[in-house]
């Protein structure tokens, strides 16, 4: 009998379920799925230059509401979502150590330099723990692999490339794949999380 496959789905800017490629991949490739949202203190500090707030009060309110909504959606489907506070790499490392059964970590790639640095650290931690990393692209309306060019060559021809790109059809979304109740994490796998949200 094969070992249990547990996938941790890291949620960052993609707090939805119905069209989230991370969840759909995990559903097809895991016995247990652990959705995880981490309130990383680095997101609430000021910027390096001029100390501007990275997260203002309106964005924070929207974020809190989105996390609560996704958590409620998962609960309706018989699952749960871990909500933790701390640096993402440290939280994931602790979770891997605590559970001992995490076989993969899946998340959407980000584009900003600070987030890319966190992703690199996360990949290093997963490599040290022999945990597979599965990433997905979800930062643009059109998937980058569907564009008819490899990079934007300049603003003067951007419009031409954009027209060529948008004349193509969007990738069809697999509507047949739905979150199954059987995909919820077992109680043996997930401890009671320290909740930050009421």
CA dist., res. 13 & res. 11, Å (int): 7
pLDDT(32) > 90: yes
Q: pLDDT category, 174, cuts 50, 70, 90?
A: low
Determine if the pTM surpasses 0.85.
no
CA dist., res. 35 & res. 189, Å (int): 12
| Domains and their CATH numbers in the chain | 6-139 (3.40.50.620)
Model pLDDT for residues 112-157, shown as the tens digit of each residue:
899 999 999 999 999 999 999 999 988 877 777 777 766 654 444 5
Which letter, b or e, does each residue of 81-92 get, where b requires 16 or more Cβ atoms within 10 Å of its Cβ?
A: bbbbeeebbebb
What angle (nearest 5°) sits at the alpha carbon of residue 75, between those of residues 191 and 59? Answer: 95
The answer to whether the beta carbons of residues 80 and 184 sit under 8 Å apart is yes
CA dist., res. 91 & res. 37, Å (int): 10
What is the model's pLDDT at position 132? Answer: 98
Model pLDDT for residues 33-67, shown as the tens digit of each residue:
999 999 999 999 998 889 999 999 999 999 999 99
What is the model's pLDDT at position 196? Answer: 41
Mean pLDDT for the chain overall? 82
What is the model's pLDDT at position 90? Answer: 97
CA dist., res. 131 & res. 124, Å (int): 10
Query: Around Cβ 169, how many Cβ atoms within 10 Å?
Result: 8
Q: What is the mean pLDDT of residues 100-115?
A: 94
Q: How far is CA 92 from CA 97, 118, 143, 145, 171, in A?
A: 9, 11, 27, 29, 31
């Amino acid at each position: 009998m094969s070992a249990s496959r547990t996938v941790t789905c890291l949620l960052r800017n993609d707090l939805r379920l119905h069209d989230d490629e991370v969840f759909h991949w995990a559903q097809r490739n895991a016995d247990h799925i652990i959705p995880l949202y981490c309130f990383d203190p680095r997101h609430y500090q000021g910027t390096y230059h001029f100390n501007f707030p990275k997260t203002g009060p309106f964005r924070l309110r929207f974020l809190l509401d989105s996390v609560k909504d996704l958590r409620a959606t998962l609960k309706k489907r018989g699952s749960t979502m871990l909500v933790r506070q701390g640096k993402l790499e440290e939280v994931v490392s602790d979770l891997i150590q605590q559970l001992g059964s995490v076989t993969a970590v899946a998340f959407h790639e980000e584009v900003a330099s600070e987030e890319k640095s966190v992703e690199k650290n996360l990949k290093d931690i997963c490599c040290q723990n022999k945990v597979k990393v599965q990433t997905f692209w979800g930062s643009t309306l059109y998937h980058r692999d569907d564009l008819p060019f490899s990079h934007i060559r300049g603003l003067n021809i951007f419009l031409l490339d954009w027209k060529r790109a948008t004349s193509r059809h969007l990738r069809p979304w697999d509507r047949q794949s739905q979150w199954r109740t059987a995909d919820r994490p077992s109680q043996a796998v997930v401890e009671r999380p320290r909740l930050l949200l009421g």
